[in-house]
Chains A and B, each alone.
Chain A
């Protein structure tokens, strides 16, 4: 559903109207940059100023033949550091071994082609920049060919490019040698892109370009940044959401060795030290007096009761067809409620941000998914123009959505600490700060109700969803809350492929509010709707005494991409064949972010009632493939991330306080629990989808369905537990 919105924004804008600009660098070499047209609609963005043509680019060819590709997306593990350069290098025909990658600075030229702001999220990076990067590569190659042809007094048609050289008969000249001359040439109006059959990189399994840096401890994450005269700060934040600081005493903190300064900021009190340890000891020594306010009564137990009551009432309609009442009177009714808890993202790298305020602006060093937002927010705090705020994106030690906050929370806070102290400062969060810090995946409750019709098929389908809106109150509200429905709350439910086969249906939504900040968490709404819908379909299949695969196949159109993924997974798993004693299988299929993923989980339950997932067979149709290794890794990754939520993780509140604090009680998947994952890719020429998130939604229902097959017990709450 989100994807449809993106495409609406994109239609008729970029491909026709984008234009290219070449610039000769003072240092020599060729730069190719796209400058997006000023008229490009930026429904999602703070208005970006396009008057300044940024002195940066997608590709820079140095005289020594090194090709530097500037990555507008943030590398957070999903592999864009490799897959996106592959797209550009394919058209450029350069030497892959000479490719270097850097994160691009924050500038309008690097705006997301659908969102209009620089960002990484929504599993969009590859499809949104695919055409753009091919164009950039092809344009650079065309200029290099022209330069070579002019040099030899030949026609471009007599030349060809390969491996970083232009070749004409027995003559050969490197891109590096041509770069200066090429940079002085006017851009051709049009360039010809390669035919798919001629691809040498796209579609091939290519190993990651960031491996060497990351296995040698040399890759720089935000937390590793070091600036001259930099201090490290740890911040004491409100113990419950919405609390106000009445007063504080920093006497003890200031007396500690290594503590340099203590400043109050809007989010709390920051202790600045010579190193993290001093700042952390100082933070812990602060004496703080908070007015806890209404937040101190908050409890998830009470919220669940409220959600259950709300689910019994009609919400705002997201999707509706036919008259529910007409079909639900006499038929057999199947009814169930599914619940998922608040979740922290808990990326391995705790949040951090380094801020250096200078005479001519501000430099921010951080791992972020939201450059444009962060830049605008920092500029607002400091009274600067956005372009005076230079964002230096480092590697991200995981993001999962937490480093994409519409409030720029962790960046804004670091800017406030730097501003208040007048120091260059790196704010570092502890793990406890991260687990307590909010911006959680919302807690959700789904109530599903179906009337069973002919052959056990659903004659009607009612799905009431209860949970906090992620989008309401953010700059995205106008575009993504439609008629009172946050599209991310109902994605995967209101557009469920089963609804087409069920003539009478209704999906509605309650969006209660609370003081708890919520945020997109890998796969956003799909992280709860897939669990509810795919569990409930399974329940209906069992109620109809049908095979759960066949039941789904009957409801899905034969030519649907869901069916293709499901059939491939079933074939590779050997669905229906005998399993080892005590093992059982469950399946789920779900479309998210334009990709269709089916997963079959093989589980057993031990005598301590612990669920063991032995094997997962995963089939994905994501359309045309850029790097199969990326897809395989992202499916494994999405499954592991989803299994953490399926088996372990939850954030709960009591008396306004988060009851979890670190990995000892906010548990995530460990190595011994990782099932054997087999990934199969459906050959497809359909529209390209994403791969960062779609692996996550199906795993929880697949496991829950397998648990039912193994035990006859239906678990309807995550994390899955036997009472």
Chain B
């Protein structure tokens, strides 16, 4: 089957029921997306499919033909996405294992809701577990990313003008 991952085409020969997570990790070799539960309970495997946050651990790769898959590796080449910058600035990470999923969920949220409230963040990211308990800084960093994105946009406008 053909998969579009981070703008690159991959031809993979895997069983039809094989979840995207394992195709990404064990076949394509993109290990930034993590395995945590295998039953969409923890969000560590969150990627974006056509921009929507998706649990790759239960999504058969065979259902994704023609769709655009974005993983943490595709968010930016150099940790420069506003969410990643906000995460670094806010010193969010601890063990870091859940953070790819957290960041992909946050980036998707900010695309649909550029200025989320705490309640929006809770609703969008409650499915992303963190055993280190970085939640307080995650919340702060989502707000910070929102500011950075707004500033980036202003910058872009300014540049064009």
Contact = CB atoms under 8 A, between A and B. Distances in A.
A281 B92 CA distance: 36
A400 B130 CA distance: 13
Contact of A217 (B18, B33, B122, B138): B33
Given A348-B98, A633-B94, A663-B37, A216 B32 contact: yes
Name which of A217, A275, A662 has the most chain B CB atoms within 10 A of its CB.
A217
A497 to B, nearest CB: 27
A598 B101 CA distance: 33
A135 interface: no
Nearest to A256: B15
B97 A349 contact: yes
Given A633-B94, A671-B125, A218 B26 contact: no
A241 interface: no
B88 A215 contact: yes
Interface in B88-136: 88-89, 91-100, 103, 121-123, 125-136
Interface in A620-671: 629, 633, 636-641, 643-644, 662-664, 668-671
Interface in B19-52: 19, 22, 25-27, 29-39, 41-42, 44
B87 A277 contact: no
Report whether over half of chain A's contact residues are helix, strand or loop; otherwise say mixed.
loop
Interface stretch (A15-23, A46-54, A185-193, A206-214): A206-214
Given A629-B91, A671-B122, A671-B135, A276 B128 contact: no
B68 interface: no
B133 A397 contact: no
A226 B28 CA distance: 12
Name which of A277, A281, A641 has the most chain B CB atoms within 10 A of its CB.
A277
A346 B88 contact: no
B135 A674 contact: yes
B96 A210 contact: yes
Contacts of B37: 431, 662-663
Given A216-B76, A217-B100, A636-B133, A397 B34 contact: yes
A6 B75 CA distance: 46
A78 interface: yes
Given A395-B96, A637-B134, A217 B42 contact: no
A672 interface: yes
A430 B130 CA distance: 17
A668 B88 contact: no
Contacts, number: 190
Given A214-B96, A215-B93, A671-B126, A350 B87 contact: no
Given A212-B79, A671-B121, A671-B139, A221 B97 contact: yes
B35 A276 contact: yes
Interface size class of A (residues with CB under 8 A): 35 or more
Given A207-B91, A431-B36, A671-B126, A348 B42 contact: yes
Contacts of A644: 131
Given A216-B32, A276-B26, A671-B128, A431 B133 contact: no
Contact of A275 (B26, B32, B75, B84): B26
A279 to B, nearest CB: 10
B71 interface: yes
Nearest to A226: B29
B95 A349 contact: yes
B72 interface: yes
B4 interface: no
A277 B15 contact: yes
Interface string A118-130: 0000000000000
B103 A639 contact: no
A258 B15 contact: yes
B147 interface: no
Contacts of A79: 94
A347 B29 CA distance: 23
A633 B34 CA distance: 23
A223 B126 contact: no
B33 A431 contact: no
Interface in A700-721: none
A347 B131 CA distance: 6
A709 B133 CA distance: 26
B132 to A, nearest CB: 4
Contact of B130 (A215, A257, A348): A348
B25 A217 contact: no
A409 interface: no
Nearest to A663: B41
Nearest to A205: B91
A272 interface: no
Contact of B88 (A78, A207, A220, A226): A207
A77 interface: yes
A640 B133 contact: yes
Contacts of A636: 133-134, 136-137
Contacts of A397: 34, 95-98
Given A212-B88, A216-B32, A629-B91, A348 B129 contact: yes
A218 to B, nearest CB: 7
Contacts of A400: 131
Contacts of A226: 29, 31
B99 A431 contact: no
Given A219-B96, A275-B27, A662-B39, A668 B132 contact: no
B31 A217 contact: yes
A425 interface: no
Contact of B94 (A217, A220, A223, A637): A637
A396 B97 CA distance: 8
B26 A217 contact: no
Contact of A77 (B76, B87, B132): B132
A258 B23 CA distance: 13
A223 B96 CA distance: 13
A677 interface: yes
A98 interface: no
A223 B34 contact: yes
A398 interface: yes
A532 B122 CA distance: 33
8 tightest Cβ-Cβ pairs between the two chains A and B: A217-B32, A640-B133, A397-B97, A214-B96, A77-B95, A77-B94, A275-B26, A217-B72
21 contacts: A77-B95, A208-B93, A212-B79, A215-B87, A215-B99, A215-B103, A218-B32, A226-B31, A232-B26, A276-B22, A348-B42, A428-B35, A633-B91, A636-B133, A636-B137, A637-B94, A640-B135, A662-B37, A662-B41, A663-B41, A674-B136
